[in-house]
Structure 1
Amino acid sequence: MEDKVVYKSKSKKSTKVILPQDNDLALLTHYHSTNEPIYGNALDVVEQFTHLVEEPNLDNLYRAIQQKLFGNTSVPFPGPKEGKELFTFIDLFAGIGGFRMALQNLGGRCVFTSEWDKYSKQTYFANYGEYPFGDITKDSTKQYIPQEFDVICGGFPCQPFSIAGVSKKISLGRLHGFADEKQGNLFFHIADIIEKHRPKAFFLENVKNLVSHDKKQTFKVIKETLEELGYSFDHKVIDGKHFVPQHRERTLMVGFDKRVYGDNVKFDFSQVELPEEKQQLKTILQENVESKFTLSDKLWNYLQEYAKKHKEKGNGFGFGLANPDGISRTISARYYKDGAEILIAQEGKNPRRLTPHEAGALQGYPIYPINTYDETKSLVIPVSDNQAYRQFGNSVVMPLIQAVGNQILQRLKSE
């Protein structure tokens, strides 16, 4: 067990500890874990917060912040040490680190990460020991990206391109796709970073509907933009059901710098190994689940009436009772609202939602004791149930990302 950090205190009275703000936290934690010179300003942060610890230095301040936020100083998923990595990458739109965990499992070392949601930042920090930088559209964030790294990765926000997202925006009279200035143009910030830093490869993820949105014009712009930068472009829609008991189709995009690998470089998605064994939902379901996850009579009656009404109209909308021997529907970020898309039948009582731990396992994260017996290597969930559902619903299927990442790694090794 690691020693506790001793906080400096001039009195015996309980005082509120003021921690560094977001950008300082990002600087401090990135410098601590990567030792990249670009984060050298973290030493100034140490000078500002010498009041927090008896022996002020980078390590002590780092551990003091971890201890204050999470009650411990252990990180379940640290990356390889500098010089021990097989490749480096940056993690954009990082969420809770699906790309990070997958690529770290392959020997990758993350040298920069960005995420705007404050609750996702907490989960990310608790699991990887780094607090993400914020809004990647701002130059004040981009300035901290190291000049050199091998792979840029991320699942850029999909609301402008998803079937549900587009339908909602149209009904509200809002713009969508690249016309959605708030979210739709985030792709171009990825392109800007690729143009400036010239990583060897990019690895991007988005919803299935990306390839058909706006009569395929959106996808055409993405493809042509990356090709004009001198990169190959290959894509495939893959269902996460090969890796987890969930139907979740996503568009995966991979490309390589032609200046490094030549004009004929391609990524062969057929080489990605997809497990043949059929997944079963019951493998991630827990026993003796708390009663709070069981639907109330009011909500259960509402969902049944809602489904009945749409069935009479010939629509397929409604709740989904999942088959434990099969796979579930796609879990969404709004799962916390009613859990309707994936409900688990219970004998003698109303159906229940998945627990947050089950939702995490449904995306392929290691969750003790569901799919890992190592409690020290289990994803930490430091946020509320509602925030956890949002985070898992927005996440990638981690083992699918790892399978594709493994083939990217083979190409990187061939340089």
Structure 2
Amino acid sequence: MSHQAQFDFRDAAALFFAAENFFGKKNLAEKLDVDRKTLTRWRKEPHKLPTTRQLALRELLRSVPKQDVSDTEFTFIDLFAGIGGVRQGFGGVNGRCVFTSEWNPWSQMTYKANYGIEDIEGDITKIQARDIPNHDVLLAGFPCQPFSIAGVSKKNALGRPHGFECTTQGTLFFDVARIIQEKQPKAFLLENVKNLVSHDKGNTFKTIRAVLEEELGYHVRTKVIDAQHFVPQHRERIIIVGFKEQTGFSFDDLELPDSGPLLGSILHPEDGTESVEKDYTTGVKAKVNAKYTLTDKLWAYLQAYAEKHKRAGNGFGFGLVDEESVTRTLSARYYKDGSEILVSQGKKRNPRRLTPRECARLMGFPPEFEIPVSDTQAYKQFGNSVVVPVIEAVARHMKPHIAALKEYERTGALQQPLLAGF
């Protein structure tokens, strides 16, 4: 993705978040001649960003020198691609995708609509690693199927195989590992649910880390990141990053915004300032379609269900939110009843679900992202996706280290990169 495309933003929120992400809070405050508290306020309420400041942000982003693609571009492959959220993040820092694998036909439809490609490989378990193009970075938001391991010493005593071929056999992580082993990318990024760390009393994660570090020889760093630093959604995911050589990469110096925006920044304004989007909004003022409002029957059921569990001392229930809220985690089951994120419409009306467009915004996808599928499929796709600005922030943090390894490949001299300026 070119820098020109990267900085083509259509709203104040996207403009502000891009500038803060690129320049950093301290530098941006200095460039705009404001204090950091003001930036924090604008981050929470980007719709209140003055027009003069919007113009200043645009000029700042346009002033960023366009770098030679041959010097800055790296290649990556997109495994378990879904609708391309990870691709969005790495494309945003000038990476180029050379291979995509996604088995779900509906996700393939959305992916093709947005990235203009015809060929998407299907089931990764049926793809030979040697047939995958060479690449600099492997990306995979892999589904972690449950598995357990026995002690290596016990297997040795029984004369059974252990290590790489045994401990991951039959899991989708195995397919990630075998591709890394075959193609030896300079780096990788894997994304998964936070609970991966504690699954099977920590054995699952220990196995994964052992394979990546001991069997494959990569230098691995991990961090659990909550998406609410970037979007109005509490969503914790573990990011696993590995480099083929020791470049000094650390998550310790990854700067995350102190606070993110509130829900009002992604909701349809319903005041005529937004164009009508078929099926989602209607009328002169682009009001949210009435079909997203819960029926009396469903709303009564959810309230009774919540009250039942409240009396039992359980925490189950719906999540009612308004413009000043940060939501619960959007899940793939959102299409069923929308209970984890219900938008209040006042006391006189039942709450409503988010529209698929609002879900796209909640996950940090750009305004122009196409949604060619039904609401049910769209809810599943966004619920299964990554939060784009989280991935882009990590990608930007990785980029100088990727560049260092590309230079090492060219010259044989490995220098730890200076992060300043990236």
8 A Cα contact 2:144 2:171, kept in partner: no
Instruction: Indicate the residue corresponding to 1:325 in structure 2.
Output: 324
Distance in 1 between residues matched to 2:233 and 2:259, nearest whole Å: 14
Secondary structure of residue in 2 paired with 1:205: strand
Instruction: Indicate the residue corresponding to 2:251 in structure 1.
Output: 269
Secondary structure of residue in 2 paired with 1:292: helix
Instruction: Indicate the residue corresponding to 1:365 in structure 2.
Output: 365
**1:202 maps onto 2:188 in alignment:** yes
Distance in 2 between residues matched to 1:251 and 1:299, nearest whole Å: 34
Write out aligned runs for 1:318-357 (5 A).
Answer: 318-347=317-346, 348-357=348-357
Write out aligned runs for 1:114-263 (5 A).
Answer: 114-130=101-117, 131-139=119-127, 142=129, 144-146=131-133, 148-158=134-144, 160=146, 185-228=171-214, 229-257=216-244, 261-262=245-246
Distance in 2 between residues matched to 1:156 and 1:313, nearest whole Å: 36
Instruction: Indicate the residue corresponding to 1:308 in structure 2.
Output: 307
Distance 1:184 1:349, change over 3 A: farther
Secondary structure of residue in 2 paired with 1:346: coil
Secondary structure of residue in 2 paired with 1:271: coil
8 A Cα contact 1:322 1:344, kept in partner: yes
8 A Cα contact 2:168 2:174, kept in partner: no
Instruction: Indicate the residue corresponding to 1:97 in structure 2.
Output: 84
**2:362 alignment partner AA:** L
Deviation per CA, 1:153-200: give whole Å up to 9, x if none: 111014649xxxxxxxxxxxxxxxxxxx99970001100000000000
Distance 1:414 1:83, change over 3 A: closer
Deviation per CA, 1:58-87: give whole Å up to 9, x if none: xxxxxxxxxxxxxxxxxxxxxx99958610
Distance in 1 between residues matched to 2:341 and 2:170, nearest whole Å: 29
8 A Cα contact 1:255 1:266, kept in partner: no
Gaps of 5+ in 2: 1-66, 148-166, 271-286, 406-422
Distance 1:392 1:246, change over 3 A: same
**2:352 alignment partner AA:** R
**1:407 alignment partner AA:** H
8 A Cα contact 1:93 1:114, kept in partner: yes
Distance in 1 between residues matched to 2:104 and 2:140, nearest whole Å: 15
**1:411 maps onto 2:401 in alignment:** yes
When normalised by structure 2's length, the TM-score is: 0.68
8 A Cα contact 2:88 2:388, kept in partner: yes
**1:133 alignment partner AA:** E
- How far did residue 126 of structure 1 move? 0.4
Instruction: Indicate the residue corresponding to 1:285 in structure 2.
Output: 267
Secondary structure of residue in 1 paired with 2:76: strand
Deviation per CA, 1:214-267: give whole Å up to 9, x if none: 11000000000001211011101110000000000000000101xxx34xx443
Distance in 2 between residues matched to 1:114 and 1:85, nearest whole Å: 25
Write out aligned runs for 1:374-389 (5 A).
Answer: 378-389=368-379
**2:212 alignment partner AA:** L
Distance 1:302 1:211, change over 3 A: same
Distance in 1 between residues matched to 2:387 and 2:373, nearest whole Å: 20
Distance in 2 between residues matched to 1:85 and 1:127, nearest whole Å: 23
- How far did residue 305 of structure 1 move? 0.6
Distance in 1 between residues matched to 2:144 and 2:209, nearest whole Å: 16
Give the share of equivalent positions with the same residue, in percent. Answer: 57
Secondary structure of residue in 1 paired with 2:264: helix
RCO comparison, higher one (Cα < 8 Å, 6+): 2
**1:198 alignment partner AA:** Q
8 A Cα contact 1:322 1:343, kept in partner: yes
Distance 1:414 1:143, change over 3 A: closer
Secondary structure of residue in 1 paired with 2:344: strand
Distance 1:275 1:389, change over 3 A: same
Instruction: Indicate the residue corresponding to 1:394 in structure 2.
Output: 384
- How far did residue 139 of structure 1 move? 3.2
8 A Cα contact 2:78 2:87, kept in partner: yes
8 A Cα contact 1:319 1:341, kept in partner: yes
Write out aligned runs for 1:44-55 (5 A).
Answer: none
- The root-mean-square deviation of aligned C-alpha atoms, in Å, is 2.3
**1:274 alignment partner AA:** L
Secondary structure of residue in 2 paired with 1:251: strand
